[in-house]
Amino acid sequence: MKIYLVSLAAGLLVGVIYGVLDVRSPAPPVIALVGLLGILLGEQIPPLVRQWRQPEAAKVAWFGDQVKPHCFGQLPGAADKSKTVKADA
């Protein structure tokens, strides 16, 4: 989570610098970023609906294992669960 906060702080700093220099940011407009967020979240709807229609008892953590990593990426310092399971076995 720390890397996301550092990234946000760096972006804010650059935004302030652009504002002080009175230049336009090369970043895409907010409406385009909202559209990208919609695409990312909409991509998760079909698998979520499939899971609700055909629930499997073994996949109780499906949302946490499938949706969260894809939407938010792997957080820094998070261990890969498959590697830790193999190491424990």
Measured at the alpha carbon of residue 68, what is the angle toward residues 44 and 88, in degrees to the nearest 5?
A: 130
State pLDDT tens for residues 3-51: 889 999 999 999 999 999 999 888 888 899 899 989 988 988 888 888 7
pLDDT tens digit string along 19-31?
A: 999 998 888 888 9
- Residue corresponding to tokens 């972006």: 11
pTM for the predicted model, two decimal places? 0.44
In angstroms, rounded to a whole number, what is the distance separating the alpha carbons of residues 10 and 8?
5
